């Protein structure tokens, strides 16, 4: 029997043909933990606003691998040594950087598990795969954790100029149709260099960086923090919170075995460390577990769970308005309106609205800065040399206080 051909070419709608460089990376792509990402949408709730946003975390990870491979080629052309093992390590790390994501983006981190990020889960899964693959992911894990001597390799995966951001801006812009988010990834990569073990951009690429930062800011407010996407996310968090409360109180709810595990256990980082079955159940979760359960919960006897579930499935979402924080009197009146309408308790009424603060900044001076390399060998922060980027404005933490509430009369 002939050996399987692992030199595959993937047709990607954003970048065209993506080559899988070698058998090692092909084996990672074929691994069940990576293939699970095919069942988790990249943008979570954004499809409620942009119906075309159906792309997955697997597509994003493949795109990030492609861009990272292009960056490696460019840095080698610039005279920087990156061995074959190092290239494989950084490509494996970028492929697996999102493997710890749960269903519907970051929703799981606020409901079914507490005090553990998707990055921490990604690391645990990479360590599990490393054991299965005889230690072949050791270098990738070192790069992922920023423990490898060549720090710029980690910056390709996680920094303010990483290939993760470069792909998701291009990809999310493509699938949502929001053209203002398009960034010139090919141009940016051509301008990449390394100075003092740090990724930098050559001076003639400064306008591409300006566009990159402005596009990122636009995508956050127009797509990721769109008021309808925020409303859907907060509503889903309320649904899962109520389902977990009922389950922990002894109520039997329809759920897949994996989802049932998280509904019936208080899961923290210590649970992941002490109970192997936690990680086993986590990797069985994807978007379909959540959606199938919510469809059934729409007929449950609990008025809170059934009402929110039915409305979510039928896109009758919370209404989101910008406002000042509610006073105790305003909050009390809101609770009373839901208590009267549904004939429920004050605690149950609290599931029908939520105050939420949206925060983001375009540029973070506490992270690895984006440095511009000039022909004379000097380097400066991009905000020091740009004509249009204001350091104070870019780094300012923007906060928007919103009220998401169930509409009683619509």
- The pLDDT of residue 323: 86
The CATH topology of domain 23-226+369-389 is: Hypothetical protein af1432 (1.10.3210)
Predicted confidence band of residue 409 (pLDDT cuts 50, 70, 90) = low
- The pLDDT of residue 410: 47
Residue 388 per-residue DSSP state: S
pLDDT in tens, 216-273: 999 999 999 999 999 999 999 999 999 999 999 999 999 999 999 999 999 999 999 9
Sign of CA dihedral 100, 102, 106, 111: negative
Can you spell out the DSSP letters for 184-237? -HHHHHHTEEEETTEEEEEGGGHHHHHHHHHHHHHHIIIIIT-HHHHHHHHHHH
Cα–Cα distance for residue pair 99/36, rounded to 1 Å:
8
Predicted confidence band of residue 1 (pLDDT cuts 50, 70, 90) = very low
pLDDT in tens, 385-404: 988 887 777 778 888 999 99
- Identify which has the larger pLDDT, 108 or 171: 171
- The pLDDT of residue 111: 85
- The pLDDT of residue 6: 67
pLDDT in tens, 242-254: 999 999 999 999 9
Question: Quick one: average pLDDT of 83-90?
Answer: 98
pTM: 0.94
Question: Quick one: average pLDDT of 184-199?
Answer: 96
- The pLDDT of residue 129: 97
């Amino acid at each position: 029997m002939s050996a399987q051909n692992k030199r595959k070419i993937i047709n990607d709608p954003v970048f065209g043909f993506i080559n899988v460089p070698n058998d090692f990376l092909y084996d990672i792509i074929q691994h069940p933990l990576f293939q699970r990402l095919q069942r988790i949408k990249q943008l979570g709730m954004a499809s409620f606003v942009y119906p075309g946003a159906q792309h997955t975390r697997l597509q994003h990870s493949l795109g990030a691998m492609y861009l990272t491979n292009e960056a490696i080629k460019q840095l080698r052309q610039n005279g920087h040594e990156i061995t074959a093992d190092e290239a494989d390590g950084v490509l494996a790390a970028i492929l697996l950087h999102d493997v710890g994501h749960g269903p519907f983006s970051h929703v799981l981190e606020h409901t079914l598990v507490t005090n553990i990020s998707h990055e921490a889960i990604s690391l645990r899964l990479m360590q599990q795969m490393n054991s299965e693959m005889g230690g072949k992911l050791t270098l990738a894990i070192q790069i992922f954790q920023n423990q490898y001597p060549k720090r710029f390799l980690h910056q390709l995966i996680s920094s303010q100029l990483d290939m993760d951001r470069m792909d998701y801006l291009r990809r999310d812009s493509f699938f949502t149709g929001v053209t203002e988010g398009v960034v010139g990834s090919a141009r940016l990569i051509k301008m990449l260099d390394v100075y003092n073990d740090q990724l930098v951009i050559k001076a003639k690429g400064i306008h591409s960086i300006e566009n990159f930062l402005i596009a990122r800011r636009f995508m956050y407010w127009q797509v990721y923090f769109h008021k309808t996407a925020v409303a859907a996310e907060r509503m889903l968090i309320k649904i899962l919170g109520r389902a977990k409360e009922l389950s922990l109180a002894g109520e039997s709810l329809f759920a897949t075995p994996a989802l049932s595990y998280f509904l019936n256990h208080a899961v923290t980082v210590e649970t992941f460390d002490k109970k192997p079955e936690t990680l086993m159940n986590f990797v069985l979760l994807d978007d379909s577990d959540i959606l199938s359960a919510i469809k059934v919960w729409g007929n449950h006897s609990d008025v809170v769970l059934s009402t929110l579930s039915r409305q979510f499935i039928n896109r009758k979402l919370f209404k989101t308005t910008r406002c000042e924080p509610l006073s105790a009197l305003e909050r009390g009146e809101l609770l009373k309106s839901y208590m009267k309408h549904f004939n429920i308790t004050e605690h149950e009424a609290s599931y029908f609205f939520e105050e939420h603060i949206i925060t983001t900044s375009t540029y973070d001076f506490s992270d690895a800065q984006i440095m511009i390399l000039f022909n004379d060998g000097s380097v400066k922060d991009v905000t020091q040399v740009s004509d249009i980027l204001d350091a104070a404005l870019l780094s300012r933490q923007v906060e928007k206080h919103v009220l998401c509430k169930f509409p009683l009369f619509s």
